[in-house]
Structure 1
Amino acid sequence: MNRNEGYTITDVYEYFQDNMDFILELTVQHINLVGLAIIVAILIGVPLGIYLTTNESLAGTVLNVASVIMTIPSIALFGLMIPIFSLINQGIGFVPAFVALVLYSQLPIIRNTYTAINNVNPEIRDAAMGIGMSTAQRLLKVEIPNTLPVIMAGIRTAVVLNIGIGVIAAFIGAGGLGILIAQGITRGHTDMVIAGAIAISILGISADLILRLLQRIFTSKGVSAQ
């Protein structure tokens, strides 16, 4: 075995053993930041995506704006948040990172919701109208249940994306697992950087698996079979 590889693997293993409490604390911070951002993003993005199916002229504009936000480098967007929120004495820390993550989440959630609702089988929609369902009933009982896998795919994408982007939040004092990488780079501790990368990867994979399980639980068998 290469000496450097053995040294790195050993150091990473020992770092996890010696700093597990610290890593768990940062993981909780990361989950809180990303989790709250995703909840707010869903509350904004899903209704907005549904509304855009009734306003095609606005849909293109909203999706283009969300796409532009996604193209902004994360460190630049976090930097833009600092002077804005400095006006209310929240220039660094949780608030600017939270808002940036909410903005980054919008494109996959809005786009998937909009696309899914737009592509509901017209025959299913007509059948619901034929039995006298109101617009709200048709949406809640027919359209959303039939499009849940696609909507959930957008949410899963946003969650995994934000877990990765949330690393940069450490550079503006928002905490999270990015602290391991930021401090590791600053101190020249490769084991610390690798430990942070592993922890973030495990968190991202775990979140995706949990959401996939929830998707299977809440998706009706008829939709799953399609």
Structure 2
Amino acid sequence: MGATAIALAASVTIQNAVVVWAGAPDYGDPIEKVLAFHAEHRAEVAIAVGLEALNLPLLLGFLTGLHGLVRLRGSAGQDFSRLAVAAGASLAAVFALYAVMWNGVVLSAGELAEPTPEFELAWQLHAAAFALALPALGTTFIGAALAAQASGLTPPWQRLLALAGGGLLIAAGAANLAIADGSGLLFVGLPGYAAWIGWLLVTGVRLVRARKHPNGRRLCAPCAPSCDPGSGTTGLS
């Protein structure tokens, strides 16, 4: 599960790096610039959309793995982990729509000499899907972080990070109509998006470093000096 979290963080980071390196337009840029970019950078969009196909199973795999681990450790955090799984499923569906609309944009751009109303609509729907994904991501972030912290898998400061970052994502997503129309309110959620990636990375590294005692009955983190190999309990400090 830790490796899955690290892989998801790496994939999302690479995906965003490709888009930024290519100079992708903002949702508020003139539609002529949007058309020119997608006509010239089909390969970069193909990479970004391809990584989205990888992100979805990694996301769902991590969340279901987290839920299973929380259940094994007792009742604490189970409601939060269920919330994270449900929100993650919604997030995956919205991101699938986001990727499909982006495919439509880039495929249309190769056949157009100038923007059409249909092309502009496809771009706005792409933007709206991303904006609607923000509150789903914020809910997933908060649910997963609260479940992990309640079960002792992560330290309390990660819960605070999730509440702040997830709150920003939800607040930005509430303005999804304005974002679809090109509003800069999208940038309100970007710190929360970065916090999600950071949380995944830190949590993944922590879980990978966790070790199983020789007796095969206890999972214990490196920071847990009080672990007793002879006990039959499970726990990460």
Q: So what's the TM-score if we normalise by structure 1? A: 0.36
Q: Greater helix percent: which structure?
A: 1
The structure having more radius of gyration, on CA atoms, is: 1
Work out which structure has the larger RCO, using CA pairs closer than 8 Å and 6 or more positions apart in sequence: 1
